[in-house]
Structure 1
């Protein structure tokens, strides 16, 4: 018996990395799986290739599971509709959407091209919208559904050179929260994962110094895609967990905070720019977050 027995799961970006591990584990846990992957490059923008998704579907079937391949793009709304329809046609239903599909086009913000901004927003934020919008009414009508969407520490903490990616991933966090709030009465859940894992997307990040090299080696050796998949499938299984942000880092799982007031200042006569500069901001300074990246937050070696 698996935690997803009788469920139908759509996994995007499922030909490689985290997506593939999620798809394989979902099948192992009893689900019928739609394997979506455009088969494109890490940067996106190319025609793609249907064979990687088919290879994963064949691997699942060879192990005794049920799977079908799909090569639509998450950035295409008609493609997302087709993924849903394929699940209905092939397996007679859909219960879970796991959406790790993504691309990277890293560049310092002052050097970023409009094309690089649009491409990343289209795949990550619009892609999350497309797959959730295509399936939300079905989930609400059957009063059963789970979304596992993917954010990034580049968004919720920050990382230099990834303004497009960070903006998209913070957008996904807001989207997931509202889906969870609006779906609560219909048993529709949505959670997001910020994964630490060595994938071909991470492999494209430039290694510019010794510290970056050490970080890359840690990711290769201690933070794997299959570890992230365990959390994704756990969130796919029936439970009362919804509206949350998790980080998966090696064998560690973190429940992350969400924006809440840190400190309030009141001035009965009201604030002016001068009093804010002289009094308000200095009084809040100790509670302000610094500009450190992920390494300044997760300062210990992964477990």
Structure 2
């Protein structure tokens, strides 16, 4: 038996890349999976493709259970239908893995309002709509006296944790998702809902555009950026074994797993009275000299 035996999990954006790897990995660990994917292009443009059907067929061929969903994660009613698909198909819901998204890479001076809104919508509103409907279901279960042991797994990014040149909208959305994870974990613990986040480093349609050559597999070496590398962490976070872990962001690069610290207090000085502008500036320069060097923004020297 796998560590997710009997668990029912929604994976959004599960038709390709990381989402596909998560869906297949969860199914291999015994989960029943709702494979949600609109089948859009890397910029969110409509296509006639239905990769969710292909992933469902692959899971069933391997002896697992899965159903497809084609609803838009960022549509309020669509989010409700995704949750209802899990309950109608399998009679329950145990976890949501928020993975769906796309990019509209632009330098900040070139980013249009339409591009900004599209990226923020799919990532931030997409995380909100599906999770909010799932939480409504779990709260109702808890209030009815039925046991709840639920999970939300959110997808942030290194771009959200440290910034990425040419990805202002994407970085802002992913930073927001990291903060959302902290708030959800604090608020939802009373309902026995654990919430954690991922900052995966993987070769996908999105990352190949920006980091294509650097992410290619090297002959004779571990394929560090294979999407399948992150699937075991997702399976563990979805499983009952992760019950006591919440409010964390994990970064995974090949076989390296990292617990992210996020914002924390740094060097400080209390004058004991109101500062003068010039004096506070001098002190800030001193404090900055004492702080650990931050990680560099992706794309800077």
TM-score, scaled relative to structure 1:
0.90
Aligned residue for 2:230, secondary structure, equals helix
Q: 1:206 to 1:231 in 2, by over 3 A?
A: closer
What are the residue-to-residue correspondences of 1:241-260 with 2, within 5 Å? 241-260=245-264
Residue ranges of structure 2 left out of the alignment (5+ in a row): 143-147
Q: Deviations over 1:97-126 (max 9, x none)?
A: 011111011111011111110010001111
2:95 is aligned with 1:93: no
Report if aligned partners of 2:38, 2:50 keep a CA contact under 8 Å in 1. no
| Structure 1 equivalent of residue 162 of structure 2 | 157
Q: Which residue of 1 aligns with 2:145?
A: none
Match of 1:81 in 2: 80
Could you tell me how far 1:281 is from its partner in structure 2? 2.9
Please give the root-mean-square deviation of Cα atoms over the aligned residues, in Å.
Answer: 2.0
Structure 1, gaps ≥5 residues long: 208-212, 298-303
Matches within 5 A, 1:158-173: 158-173=163-178
Provide TM-score, normalisation by structure 2. 0.91
- What is the SS of the residue equivalent to 2:153? strand
1:224 counterpart (226, 237, 241): 226
Q: Distance in 2 between matches of 1:49 and 1:127?
A: 21
Which residue pairs with 1:276 in the alignment?
280
Q: Deviations over 1:261-299 (max 9, x none)?
A: 0111111122232111122333333316457235899xx
- d(CA) in 2 for partners of 1:254, 1:288: 18
Partner of residue 210, structure 1: none
Separation in structure 1 between the aligned mates of residue 106 and residue 299 of structure 2, nearest angstrom: 19
Distance apart, 1:217 and its partner CA: 3.2
> After the TM superposition, which residues 1-303 of structure 1 pair with which residues of structure 2 at under 5 Å, given as runs?
1-44=1-44, 46-49=45-48, 51-140=50-139, 141-142=141-142, 143-205=148-210, 213=213, 215-217=214-216, 221-238=223-240, 239=242, 240-287=244-291, 289-290=293-294, 292-294=296-298
CA–CA distance in 2 between the matches of 1:196 and 1:74? 23
Distance in 1 (CA, whole Å) between partners of 2:111 and 2:26 is 38
Q: Residue in 2 aligned with 1:301? A: none
- Structure 1 residues 59 and 283, CA gap change in structure 2 (3 angstroms): closer
